[in-house]
Amino acid sequence: MSSKVYTTESGEVVYGIVAEFDTPADVYHAAEQVRDAGYSKWDVHTPFPIHGMEDAMGVKRTILPMIIGVVGLTCAGLGFLMQWWMNGVDYQLTVQGKPFATWQAFVPITFELGILFSAFTAIIGMLFFNRLPQWYHPLLKKDRFLRVSDDRFMICIEAGDSNFDPDRTRALLEGAGGKHIDLVEE
Amino acid sequence: MSSIHPDQVTAQHLAGLSRLPDRGTPAPGTGDGSLIDDPSVRSPLVLNERTFKEVTDIVCGYAENKPGKWWLPALIISGSIATLGGLAILYLVITGIGTWGLNNQVDWAWDITNFVFWIGIGHAGTLISAILCLLKQKWRTAVNRSAEAMTIFAVICAATFPGIHIGRQWMAWFLPPIPNANNIWPNFKSPLLWDVFAISTYGTVSALFWFMGMIPDLATLRDRADMRLRASKSGPTIAPFIPIRVDAVRAYIYGFLSLGWRFSSRHWHRYEAAYLVLAGISTPLVLSVHSIVSFDFATSILPGWHTTIFPPYFVAGAIFGGFAMVLLLLIPARELFPNMKDFITLRHMENMAKIILVTGSMVGFAYTMEFFIAWYSGNEYESHVFKFNRALPTWISDKGAPYWWAYWAMIFCNVLSPQVFWMKKFRTSPTAIFAVSFLVTIGMWFERFVIIVTSLHRAFLPGEWGMFFPTAVDITTFIASCGVFLTLFLIFLKFLPVFAIAELKAVMPQASPHHHHEGHAHGGGDHSKGGHH
């Protein structure tokens, strides 16, 4: 996608450009402007999820819940089959005069296995789509960026975006009220 | 890179200025400012008008600053008690189940009582993290992290007891369906196997939920350690003469655990979706777990166990006992940790006291229904159990129950003591809440003892009737499980984010993007400003 590689005066490759905001409202409205300017490779970093930020950024709804549902139901079904095969086919255990394969008795474990694998899918899926774990990231090298985990709100537009231009992008963030605008090195 | 210290406030805190000033005085009649009776006014979830920065500093301070003088002695005492339990279990494994007081008649006794007691305690944590999340009860953010931690530690204690009760503990791997040389599979029609799956699922899902919730807060701790590392060349080391800085260890461990979280909104979006799904699936899970525990009893034919009221009765009792334990842990904690009262307000305590009152009355209703059904069913075994084996003291009749005192201790602690919460004075007094919670915890242990031991000790054949008396090993193992629980909780209080920092910030009024007056310069008018392009 990226047509051009930008470098700083010292020759470092530029990852992107960051701007800092003071309040959720400021960063929310700035995000709307970046969205409307047509950027795609950019992100808003906030200490907590801000209500409605998906809309302000134009992020599509995640398909994660659908995946969790499909995996959960599949695993519940497999769990039922496992019990049916083990007790009903492979090792028929005569106990309490019950039929070998009795679906009613298999309900609790079917349910529990569905929940168990849904939970694994939820967390592993969340990490997978977020490309995590990723213990190295250019942003984490910036001193000011670390304050996002406290009370700062930041927008980062990546140099890899086709719309990126060092001057125009900086001007957009300045116009949106960004402070401490700075380049991030790869 | 800037060389300015990025975090002056943290530096001051590390220098010992850990208690932040109070701001203003609360309006009269509102306690600490959170007990507002006017329904048109939202009671504040965080007191003293804390800023985001102060919230970060306060909560991270618990993990970063030296703990109070009480912490280490408390850890040593509870850790020693826990170790004692290890020895008791070792003795049990070497010698056999005969070291416990159970016998042919009462073949489930303290072990299963303790198991149900601990697993029940866990349920409050999941109720707070899952059900209150779905119901959009924002006050849960003050207690969810510590309650979830409590859940996991309680499940660890609970799982130990059936594990060591199986007799040949080295055969415990027969419980899950693992292919083995004997070519046999477990019996999936047995409620005991349902229990294995319910408890292990519950423990795993609770731990996943807890860990996922902690990722952003661990990243906050990582960033703070990193900031201090970058700001100065020297700092406290892990031990004298070892040149490894404490902050380097923190940055490494918290950094590893936080998986590189960088507070991206695109990440938050999927994170919130996953969180909501986890809350959604944990809700039926928590209801199923204690229902399945109750099936261990309800699917048998023993009078006193064989009853359809058990699943809802057990679930209500679990939430009841769990909230009592949450309060038992948090009331001292909010006294001992600086500024914790800003987050756990009197309103939070009042809400939990109300839940205790409701669920306590529910178990009271269940106790009454057991008597009603015993009479209404006309089943003579059932009515014998309730008329003679549970409630009738031996000093009134020779046919009376030898364990009558356990039954009445249960009624007093679980049904009568929470009734004081009808009065606002009691449900807003930490001392009164602590006292009732203590009684409820004892009462809920007795409830399980009453259900298990008194039902078993006089079953169908009078010739088999017998008594159960605990041995020293029984008692040591139970007390040690409390030690394990407290030890884990103390370690949690010192090293992990005790509050869900990101969630706390998100429920503060200034977190809303519409908090500032709408006519602000950044308002809607700027929307289509794509002029640079």
Note the pLDDT tens digit of each residue in B457-494: 998 888 889 999 999 999 999 999 999 999 999 999 99
Hey, are the CB atoms on B56 and A150 less than 8 Å from each other?
yes
**What pLDDT is attached to residue B18?**
53
Alpha-carbon distance A47 to nearest alpha carbon in chain B (angstroms) = 6
- Of A23, A32, A118, which is closest to B281 when you measure between CB atoms? A118
In 3D, which of B286, B420, B438, B408 has the Cα closest to residue B357?
A: B420
In a domain? residue A98: yes
Q: CA of B324, closest CA in chain A: separation in Å?
A: 27
User: Residue A44: its chain B contacts at CB < 8 A?
Assistant: 264-265
Q: A19 and A76 in one domain?
A: no
Report the gap between the CA of B74 and the closest CA in chain A (Å).
Answer: 31
Residues A18, A109, single domain; the answer is no
- Distance from C-alpha of A107 to C-alpha of B188, rounded to nearest angstrom: 10
Q: Which residues pair with A19 in a beta bridge?
A: A155
Q: What is the pLDDT of residues B466-476, one digit of tens each?
A: 999 999 999 99
Question: Is B277 close to A96, i.e. CB distance below 8 A?
Answer: no
Q: Which residues of B touch A132 (CB under 8 A)?
A: 259-261, 267
To the nearest whole angstrom, how far is the Cα of A3 from the nearest Cα of chain B?
Answer: 17
CATH code, domain with A175: 3.30.70
The residue in chain B having the minimum alpha-carbon distance to the alpha carbon of residue A108 is B194
Using DSSP's 3-state secondary structure scheme, residue B503 falls into helix
Report chain A's C-alpha Rg in angstroms: 25
Chain A's closest residue to B290, CA to CA, is A108
Beta partners for residue A18, in sequence order: A156, A182
Q: How far apart are CA A144 and CA B285, in angstroms?
A: 42
Residues of A in contact with B278 (CB under 8 A): 119, 122-123
Report the distance separating Cα B46 and Cα B139, nearest Å: 9
Distances (CA, A) of A175 to A65, A93, A171, B191, B455: 37, 75, 6, 66, 76
Specify the pLDDT at position B81: 97
Residue B518's pLDDT is 40
Any domain includes B213: yes
B288 contacts A132? CB cut-off 8 A: no
Do A52 and A144 lie in one domain? The reply is: yes
Contact B515 A24 (CB under 8 A): yes
Among B254, B205, B219, B265, smallest CA distance to A130 is for B265
Residues of A whose CB is below 8 A from B174: none
How many angstroms separate the CA atoms of A53 and A159, rounded?
22
Domain boundary among A92, A109, A129: A129
Q: Is there a single domain that holds both residue A56 and residue A70?
A: no
Has residue B523 got a pLDDT over 50? no
Contact A175 B268 (CB under 8 A): no
CATH number of residue B336's parent domain: 1.20.1630.10
At residue B365, the pLDDT reads 96
Q: What's the pLDDT score for residue B454?
A: 93
Average pLDDT, chain B: 89
Q: Count CB pairs under 8 A between chains A and B.
A: 275
- Could you tell me if residue B502 is inside a domain? yes
Whole-number pLDDT of residue B515: 75
Contact B533 A38 (CB under 8 A): yes
Task: Give per-residue pLDDT as tens, B161-208.
Answer: 999 999 899 999 999 999 988 889 999 999 999 999 999 999 999 999
Task: With respect to residue B112, please indicate whether it lies within any of the assigned structural domains.
Answer: yes
Mean pLDDT, chain A, whole residue set: 93
Q: Say what the pLDDT of residue B414 is.
A: 96
Q: What is the pLDDT of residue B399?
A: 86
CA A100 to chain centroid: 46
* E-state strands within chain A: 14-21, 42-45, 153-158, 179-185
Chain B residues within an 8 Å CB radius of A147: 6-7, 223, 227
Token pair recorded at residue B493: 């209080």
CA–CA min distance A72, chain B (Å)? 10
In this complex, do B185 and A112 lie within 8 Å of one another by their Cβ atoms? no
Closest CA to B82 of B479, B450, B508: B479
Q: How far is CA B273 from CA A63, A117, A122, B209, B291, in A?
A: 9, 16, 9, 13, 28
| Mean pLDDT across A156-164 | 93
- A6 within some domain: no
Residue range B235-246: mean pLDDT, rounded = 89
The answer to whether position B29 is within a domain reads no
pLDDT of residue B16: 43
Q: Does residue A154 sit within a domain?
A: yes
Question: Tell me, what amino acid is at B97?
Answer: I
SS3 B421: helix
* 3-state secondary structure (DSSP) of residue A182: strand
Is A3 contained in some domain? Answer: no
Nearest-angstrom CA–CA distance, A129 and A140: 20
Which pLDDT score is estimated for B532? 39
Contact between B269 and A26 using a beta-carbon 8 Å cutoff: no
* Check: complex ipTM more than 0.90: yes
Cβ contacts of A112 on chain B, cutoff 8 Å:
194, 197-198, 201, 285, 288, 292
The reply to whether residue B223 touches residue A115, judged by beta carbons under 8 angstroms, is no
- Show which of A112, A129, A146 is a domain's final residue: A129
Instruction: Classify residue B30 by burial, with Cβ atoms within 10 Å: 0-12, 13-18, 19+.
Output: middle
Residues 6+ apart with CB under 8 A from A138: A15, A16, A184, A185, A186
Lowest mean pLDDT among A21-30, B119-128, B419-428: B119-128
In a domain, A9, yes or no: no
| Interface test mutation site (partner A, options B64, B269, B528, max chain A beta carbons within 10 A) | B269
In a domain, B531, yes or no: no
A113 in any annotated domain: yes
**Residue A37's domain spans which residues?**
14-60+137-185
Residue that finishes a domain, picked among A83, A103, A129 = A129
Contact assignment for A143 to B1 by CB distance below 8 Å? yes
Please report whether residue A119 resides in a domain.
yes
Q: Measure in Å the smallest separation between the Cα of B188 and chain A Cα atoms.
A: 6
Distances (CA, A) of B403 to A138, A177, B237, B455: 68, 73, 57, 10
Residues 6+ apart with CB under 8 A from B198: A108, A112, B288, B289, B292, B293
Determine, yes or no, domain membership for A85.
Answer: yes
Whether residue B2 has pLDDT greater than 70: no
pLDDT in tens, B23-74: 777 877 788 888 888 888 888 889 888 999 999 999 999 999 988 899 999 9
pLDDT of res. B521: 39
From the list A113, A116, A150, the residue facing B53 with the nearest CB is A150
Mean pLDDT across the stretch B525-530? 37
- Nearest by Cα to A4 from A173, A176, A162, A148: A162
Pair (A80, A111) in one structural domain: yes
User: Is B530 a residue whose pLDDT tops 80?
Assistant: no
Nearest CA in chain B to A141: B1
Which strand (E) or helix (H) includes residue B239? Answer: strand B237-239
Chain B interface mutation, best of A29, A140, A149, highest count of B Cβ atoms under 10 Å: A149
Angle separating helix axes B310-336 and B144-165, nearest 10 degrees: 120
Classify A157 as helix, strand or coil. strand
Do A45 and A79 sit in the same domain of this protein? no
Please name which of A15, A14, A24 lies closest in space to residue A44, comparing C-alpha atoms.
A24
The string of pLDDT tens digits covering residues B305-361 is 999 999 999 999 999 999 999 999 999 999 999 899 999 999 999 999 999 999 999
| Residue B1 reports pLDDT greater than 50 | no
> pLDDT tens digits for B5-22?
445 555 444 444 456 777
- Which residue in B260, B515, B523 is closest to A135 by CB distance? B260
pLDDT digits (tens, 9 = 90+) for B78-111: 999 999 999 999 999 999 999 999 998 999 999 9
A contact test, residue of B289, B516, B522, B526 with most A CBs within 10 A: B522
Q: How far is A51 from chain B (nearest CA, A)?
A: 7
All residues of chain B having their beta carbon less than 8 Å from the beta carbon of residue A31 are: 265
Q: Which domain holds residue B183?
A: 53-511
Q: Quote the number of domains for chain A.
A: 2
The pLDDT value recorded for residue A93 is 85
Among all residues of chain B, which has the CA nearest to that of A153?
Answer: B263
Q: What is the mean pLDDT of residues B394-422?
A: 94
Read off the pLDDT of residues A58-111 as tens digits, 9 standing for 90 and up. 999 999 999 999 999 999 999 999 999 999 999 998 888 889 999 999 999 999
CA dist B5 and B231 (Å) reads 5
pLDDT for residue B6: 43
Number of separate domains in chain B: 1
Question: Is residue B129 domain-resident?
Answer: yes
Mutation target vs A (from B52, B188, B281; most A CBs, 10 A cutoff): B188
